[in-house]
C-alpha cells in the first residue's frame, strides 16, 4: 500500500485489480466518492442506488476516468430486490469480494414529533438494507474464503444527536451488527468493519447556512468539515488485502469530534 501525493490531496494507493466491489448509495456524496476511489484503484464497481439516472452519471464518470463500473438500480430495503440485484451482479461481473453498505437516509425531527413513517423509513434503509446485503453476500464470500465488508455508520450512532433518534438508532444498530457479523465470519477470512463519519461537506451540510456551519466547525478540533474523499480513503484502507487482521472495528472520520 503506497501513498501518492497529487495536486489536490494525498491519495492512498491499493491494488484492487481483478476485484469486484458492490457499493450501495453510490449515486452521490460519500457513496459516489467511495465508488470512484475503489475504481481508481483497479476494482470493478457495481453501483447500487434507487435513482437509475444518477447511477448512469456516476458510471459514465468512472468510465471516462478509465475505470470499470456498472449501474444496478435497487431499493436496498426490499428483500426481493436485493436478492435479485446480487444475483444479477454475480452473473454480470463474477464473484465479488468487497461490499460497502453506504445507502442511508435521514428524516430529522424531535422525538415527540417523529411519525411512524419517519422512524420506519430510516430504519428500513439504514439498518435493514445492510442486513439484507450482508446476508446475501455472506454465503458466497464464505465459500470463496475471502471478503471485505465495510458499513458506513456515523458518529451520531456513537454519541447520539438531538433530532435524530431514528438516524442515531439505525447507525448504532449498524455498529452492533458490524461487530457481531465480523465475529461470525472471521474464521472464513472475511473482515467486517465500519467507518463513522462526522460532519462531512455535502449538500445537506451546505443547507445549514454559513452561521450554523461556523458553529459546527468550532465544535470540531480540526476546525473544518471533512471531505467525502477522506471517508472514501478510510474505506479503501479497510478493504485492502493488507488489512486482513482488522475486523469488528469502527474507524471514526470526524476531525477529532468525539475523541
Q: Are strands 44-49 and 147-152 parallel, antiparallel or unpaired?
A: unpaired
Q: Is the dihedral of CA 17, 99, 157, 125 positive or negative?
A: positive
**Which cell numbers hold the place of 135?**
446476508
Asked if 162 contacts 110 with a C-beta cutoff of 8 angstroms, the reply is yes
- Residue matched to cell numbers 454475480: 90
* Structure confidence at residue 256 (pLDDT): 96
Residues known to be catalytic = 167
* Structure confidence at residue 8 (pLDDT): 52
Distance of CA 218 to the CA centre of its chain: 26
In Å, how far are 140, 156, 157, 159, 255 from 224, measured between CA atoms?
Answer: 41, 18, 21, 20, 8
What structural domains and CATH numbers belong to the chain? Answer: 12-252 (3.40.50.720)
* Structure confidence at residue 3 (pLDDT): 47
Residues in the chain predicted with pLDDT less than 50, given as ranges, are 3-7
Q: What is the DSSP letter of 199?
A: S
- Residue matched to cell numbers 438494507: 129
- For residue 54, count other CB atoms closer than 10 A to its CB: 17
* Structure confidence at residue 203 (pLDDT): 77
> pTM score, two decimals?
0.94
Q: Give pLDDT tens digits for 29-61.
A: 999 999 999 999 999 999 999 999 999 999 999
* Structure confidence at residue 7 (pLDDT): 37
Residues 6+ apart with CB under 8 A from 206: 213
Amino acid at each position: 500500500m503506497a501513498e501518492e501525493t497529487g495536486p489536490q490531496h494525498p491519495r492512498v494507493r491499493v491494488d484492487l485489480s481483478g476485484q469486484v466491489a458492490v457499493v450501495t448509495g453510490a449515486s452521490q456524496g460519500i457513496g459516489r466518492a467511495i465508488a470512484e476511489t475503489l475504481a481508481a484503484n483497479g476494482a470493478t464497481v457495481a453501483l447500487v442506488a434507487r435513482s437509475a439516472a444518477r447511477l448512469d452519471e456516476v458510471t459514465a464518470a468512472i468510465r471516462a476516468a478509465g475505470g470499470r463500473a456498472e449501474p444496478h438500480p435497487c431499493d436496498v430495503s426490499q428483500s426481493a430486490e436485493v436478492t435479485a440485484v446480487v444475483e444479477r451482479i454475480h452473473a454480470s461481473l463474477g464473484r465479488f469480494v468487497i461490499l460497502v453498505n453506504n445507502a442511508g437516509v435521514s428524516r430529522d425531527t424531535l422525538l415527540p414529533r417523529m411519525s411512524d413513517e419517519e422512524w420506519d423509513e430510516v430504519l428500513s434503509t439504514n439498518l435493514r438494507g445492510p442486513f439484507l446485503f450482508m446476508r446475501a453476500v455472506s454465503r458466497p464470500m464464505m465459500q470463496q474464503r475471502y471478503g471485505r465488508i465495510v458499513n458506513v455508520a456515523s458518529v451520531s450512532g456513537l454519541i447520539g444527536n438531538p433530532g435524530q433518534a431514528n438516524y442515531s438508532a439505525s447507525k448504532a444498530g449498524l455498529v452492533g451488527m458490524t461487530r457481531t457479523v465480523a465475529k461470525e465470519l472471521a474464521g472464513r477470512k472475511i473482515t467486517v468493519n465500519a467507518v463513522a463519519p462526522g460532519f462531512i461537506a455535502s449538500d445537506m451540510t451546505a443547507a445549514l447556512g454559513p452561521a450554523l456551519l461556523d458553529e459546527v466547525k468550532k465544535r470540531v478540533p480540526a476546525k473544518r468539515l471533512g471531505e467525502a474523499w477522506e471517508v472514501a480513503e478510510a474505506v479503501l484502507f479497510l478493504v485492502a488485502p493488507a488489512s486482513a487482521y482488522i475486523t469488528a472495528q469502527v474507524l471514526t472520520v470526524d476531525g477529532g469530534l468525539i475523541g
